[in-house]
Amino acid sequence: MKKILVFQSDFGLVDGAVAAMYGVAHEVSEDLRLYNLTHDITPYQLDEASYRLFQAVEYWPKGTVFVSVVDPGVGSSRKSVVALTKDGHYIVTPDNGTLTHLKKYVGIVAVREIEEIKHRRQNTEHSYTFHGRDVYAFTGAKLASGQITFEEVGEELSVEGIVEVELGEVVRTETGIKGSIDILDVRFGSLWTNITREDFLAAGFEIGEKVEVIIQNGPSLVYNNLVVYGKSFADVRISEQIIYVNSLYRMALAINQGNFAKAYSVGTGINWTIEFRKVNR
């Protein structure tokens, strides 16, 4: 066990919520090394929380424990769980969809329900709205510090029964490929799609060519233009648009030194579709 605990939430850093979770973790063990993945998840957005775990988890040492708290159903009958990924990382989270991307793209080999009678901070049983502090940070710290094993977390559940959010499909078309805009590279406004580099290349696209890009929000056309497929932003002039492969080997769309999402008011999720089409020559 590496004694590393990484936190993710939609709490932001404007109040004491994250500091309280840190404090609880250090109550359990002052030897823990605590880090933040992000606390800027859009409030209540489970698909975003799921994606950010997928984006970051694999780059941490085996045995790292992640506490992810995006929990619009806090205090309800949703389960509190710890999942073990194929690569040996632990995710402490509500079972509400947050594990979707890890299950689909990385692999989850086991999941256990947190036995709250044993693994809940003392004298918090009448608090129903801050399980991030009282259950998840506390359990995560016990697991990361080696005070409990994964098997001691609680009853084993079915991996197939993990709650999942709906993800967009990738579909080959007669002239190209169509998928959805999963998430933004937030600070820079680039669009990250669910279309893999492998699927994009299999559709016949080549570096340097212009590709027709069609973006829709449901039935509404939002964007339609020709865009160069390049290796990096330097392949186009400042303010020009580019299709590129992002750090997760998914296809992305950006404006060089600009913000594509703001420029065209583009959002994310399964209703936001993007199609790449070959241009007739």
Question: Which tens digits make up the pLDDT trace of 235-275?
Answer: 999 999 999 999 999 999 999 999 999 999 999 999 999 99
The pLDDT value recorded for residue 164 is 97
Task: Name the band, by pLDDT with cuts 50, 70 and 90, for residue 226.
Answer: very high
Token pair for 79: 């389960």
* Token digits of residue 81: 């769980």
Question: Mind giving me the DSSP string for 71-85?
Answer: -TTTTSSPPEEEEEE
pLDDT of residue 183: 97
CA distance 65 to 139: 10
CB 31 within 8 A of CB 25: no
Task: Give the domain 171-277 fold.
Answer: Elongation Factor Tu (Ef-tu); domain 3 (2.40.30)
CATH number corresponding to 4-161: 3.40.50.10790
pTM comes to: 0.94
From first CA to last CA, the distance across the chain in angstroms is: 58
- 3-state secondary structure string, 45-58? CHHHHHHHHHHHHH
Range of weakest confidence among 37-41, 84-88, 131-135: 131-135
* Of the candidate ranges 26-35, 67-76, 183-192, the one whose mean pLDDT is the lowest: 67-76
**Alpha carbon distance 123, 24 (integer Å):** 13
- Are 68 and 51 in contact, with CB atoms under 8 Å apart? no
The predicted structure's pLDDT at residue 160: 97
Q: Which two tokens stand for residue 219?
A: 């039935």
Supply the pLDDT for residue 254.
98
pLDDT at 123: 80
pLDDT at 1: 56
- Beta-sheet pairing, 176-185 with 171-172: antiparallel
Q: In the chain, what are the domain boundaries?
A: 4-161, 171-277
Q: What is the pLDDT of residue 80?
A: 96
**Percent of the chain as helix, strand, coil, to the nearest 5:** 25, 35, 45
Of 146, 152, 211, the closest CA to residue 176 belongs to 211
156-157 and 108-113 strand pairing: antiparallel
Residues 6 or more apart whose Cβ sits within 8 Å of residue 19 = none
What gap in Å lies between CA 16 and CA 143, rounded to an integer?
24
Judge residue 240's burial from the number of C-beta atoms within 10 Å of its C-beta, 0-12 exposed, 13-18 middle, 19 or more buried: middle
Q: Is the pLDDT of residue 126 over 90?
A: no
